[in-house]
Amino acid sequence: MKFNPMAFIDNLYYMLVGMAGILIVIGVIILITMFLNKATTPKNNS
Amino acid sequence: MEILYENVLQLSWQHVVMWLIGGILIYLAIKKEMEPTLLLPLGFGTLLVNLPLSGAINQVLADGSVQEGALSTLFEAGISNELFPLILFIGIGAMIDFSPILSNPKLMIFGGAAQFGIFLTLCLASMFFDINDAASIAIIGAADGPTSIVVAQKLQSKYLGAIMVAAYSYMALVPIIQPPVIKLLTTKKERLIRMPYAQRPVSKLTKILFPIIITLVAGIVAPASVSLIGFLMFGNLIRECGVLNSLSETAQKVLANLITIFLGITIASQMQAESFLRPETLLILGLGLVAFIFDTAGGVLFAKFLNLFMKQKINPMIGAAGISAFPMSGRVVHKMGLKEDPQNFLLMHSIGVNVSGQIASVIAGGLILNFFM
């Protein structure tokens, strides 16, 4: 086992890209779900 | 008689320590009912593989030939190629009802935010381990056993046994780990925020198209995760299509139970004293806890951040339910809400966030595989 504190800084890139990636993908899924709901829910004319 | 003595002499203190660990896992499974379907086979398997010259695992004989053990064979057949966890995902997918998030899709964003602990732990673990092991350890924070196994196996981590024990133990410990973190990060006023719930109808077509579209989207963004998300969504499609009710029931009960038995006892083959009793194991358990704590914190703090801009405030506690431990995390948040105000029913919101955590954790696993494979 090693101890390399600099690795924390070096890998912050993955934290940034990973969180951005998840939030973007989830955002896309939210938009698709909203669209699906709108497109497939029958309109209530009453 | 001599053979008997020989075997007894092969016994070491490490074996005895592993028996104690196996005993603790069996105790937690039976007495405390902590993830018994997994911890019981894992505990018993730990006993099986920690006997001197155990025939349950491969043994190299004096003439150099290998005597095959059943658990090693099962490991090769079902874990090293990720087959067992993926098949288990079909059962899990068949169990999940996505209606709460289909009815209120905005809740899904908390599932994403609550994966923060995974990436923070990745950075922390990289100070001690090489990057593939660090990524495998970080995914403990997904609170999702099958995802942890697939990621650790694909990244060829040396610590599969410890990662599995940490992932499943912490999942069972959600009711103990999450409440203090949530309380620390929220004020009483915030915990009292009420969130009215309006059930919106979700069409059958939406329920059928959702798993198909999620598979396509996640598969394009993180192709390495397509088997993970694909098997989960395939299980859900079986459930929602309406023409495979018998298969859906089998996947939810028989298939899931059967695979879980094999999964637990096979993972135990990685819990041999010489590879488990290392200082690294304690560090992995500690890092797994950090991942869970910061996942919870990520969800809560993200909800608090959104509240800065929203007219109708969100109860920040629901952000904590964005981890994959379903339905424990959703229930924990609901109970905390009721404790503060017996008329504050957060269950539908928290369960919705909890379900989204299951999707987000698989996407997180896929992204990690994309980064490091």
Residue A9, Cα to own-chain centre: how many angstroms? 23
Q: What is the pLDDT of residue B20?
A: 95
Unique residue bearing structure tokens 């007495």: B31
C-alpha to C-alpha distance for B89 and A7, rounded to whole angstroms: 34
Q: Please name the member of A2, A14, A28 whose beta carbon is closest to the beta carbon of B371.
A: A14
More confident residue, B121 or B59: B121
Q: For residue A1, how many other CB atoms are within 10 A of its CB?
A: 8
Residue B305 touches chain A, beta carbons under 8 Å: no
Shortest distance between the Cα of A45 and any Cα of chain B, in A, equals 16
Touching A: B residues 2-61, CB under 8 Å: none
Unique residue bearing structure tokens 């098949």: B87
pLDDT of B91 > 80? The answer is yes
Range with lowest mean pLDDT among B52-56, B91-95, B124-128, B222-226: B222-226
C-alpha to C-alpha distance for B32 and B133, rounded to whole angstroms: 31
Unique residue bearing structure tokens 């909203």: A34
Shortest distance between the Cα of A17 and any Cα of chain B, in A, equals 9
Question: To the nearest whole percent, how much of chain B has pLDDT over 70?
Answer: 99
Q: Any alpha helices (H) in B268-346, and if so which ranges?
A: 273-276, 279-307, 328-340
How confident is the model over B250-254, as a mean pLDDT?
Answer: 94
Shortest distance between the Cα of A11 and any Cα of chain B, in A, equals 5
How confident is the model over B95-106, as a mean pLDDT?
Answer: 89
Structure tokens at B10: 């092969």
pLDDT of B134 > 80? The answer is yes
Contacts of B117 in chain A (CB under 8 A): none
How confident is the model over B163-183, as a mean pLDDT?
Answer: 86
CB contact under 8 A, B209 and A40: yes
The A-side interface with B (CB below 8 A) comprises 1-5, 7-8, 10-12, 14-15, 17-19, 21-23, 25-30, 32-34, 36-37, 40-42
pLDDT of B332 > 80? The answer is yes
Is the alpha carbon torsion for B98, B211, B319, B309 positive or negative? negative
Q: Please name the member of A4, A8, A30 whose beta carbon is closest to the beta carbon of B109.
A: A30
Residue B106 touches chain A, beta carbons under 8 Å: yes
Please provide residue B67's backbone torsions phi and psi, each rounded to the nearest 5 degrees: -95, 115
Q: Please name the member of A4, A22, A36 whose beta carbon is closest to the beta carbon of B364.
A: A22
CB contact under 8 A, B364 and A18: yes
How confident is the model over B146-169, as a mean pLDDT?
Answer: 87
Q: Which of B113, B150, B138, B108 is nearest to B359 (CA)?
A: B108
Amino acid at A11: N
Residue B178 touches chain A, beta carbons under 8 Å: no
Determine the 3-state secondary structure of B66 from DSSP: strand
Contacts of A33 in chain B (CB under 8 A): 101-102, 105, 108, 206, 210
Q: What is the pLDDT of residue B303?
A: 95
Contacts of B359 in chain A (CB under 8 A): 26, 29
C-alpha to C-alpha distance for B72 and B88, rounded to whole angstroms: 20
CB contact under 8 A, A18 and B118: yes
Question: To the nearest whole percent, how much of chain B has pLDDT over 90?
Answer: 54
**Which of A25, A28, A41, A44 to probe by mutation at the B interface, max B CB count within 10 Å?**
A25
Structure tokens at B198: 């309006």
pLDDT of B274 > 90? The answer is no
CB B125 within 8 Å of CB B141: no
Q: What is the pLDDT of residue A45?
A: 55
Q: Please name the member of A3, A30, A42 whose beta carbon is closest to the beta carbon of B108.
A: A30
How confident is the model over B83-104, as a mean pLDDT?
Answer: 90
What is the full DSSP assignment across A2-29?
A: ---THHHHHTHHHHHHHHHHHHHHHHHH
Most confident of B58-62, B120-124, B266-270: B120-124
CB contact under 8 A, A30 and B106: yes
Q: Which residues contact B261 (CB under 8 A, 6 or more apart)?
A: B37, B41
pLDDT of B85 > 60? The answer is yes
Shortest distance between the Cα of B62 and any Cα of chain A, in A, equals 32
Most confident of B150-164, B197-211, B291-305: B291-305
Determine the 3-state secondary structure of B59 from DSSP: strand
- Give buried/exposed letters for B193-225 (b at 16+ CB in 10 A, else e): bebeeeeeebeeebbbbbbebbbebbbebbebb
Q: What is the pLDDT of residue B270?
A: 84
CB contact under 8 A, B127 and A15: no
Average pLDDT, chain B: 90
pTM, two decimal places: 0.85
pLDDT of A44 > 70? The answer is no
ipTM for the assembly? 0.91
Q: Which of B57, B76, B77, B75 is nearest to B67 (CA)?
A: B57
Unique residue bearing structure tokens 């007894």: B8
C-alpha to C-alpha distance for B272 and B177, rounded to whole angstroms: 28
Alpha-carbon dihedral angle through residues B33, B39, B45, B49, given to the nearest 10 degrees: -120
End-to-end, the C-alpha distance of chain A in Å comes to 69
Which DSSP state fits A43? P
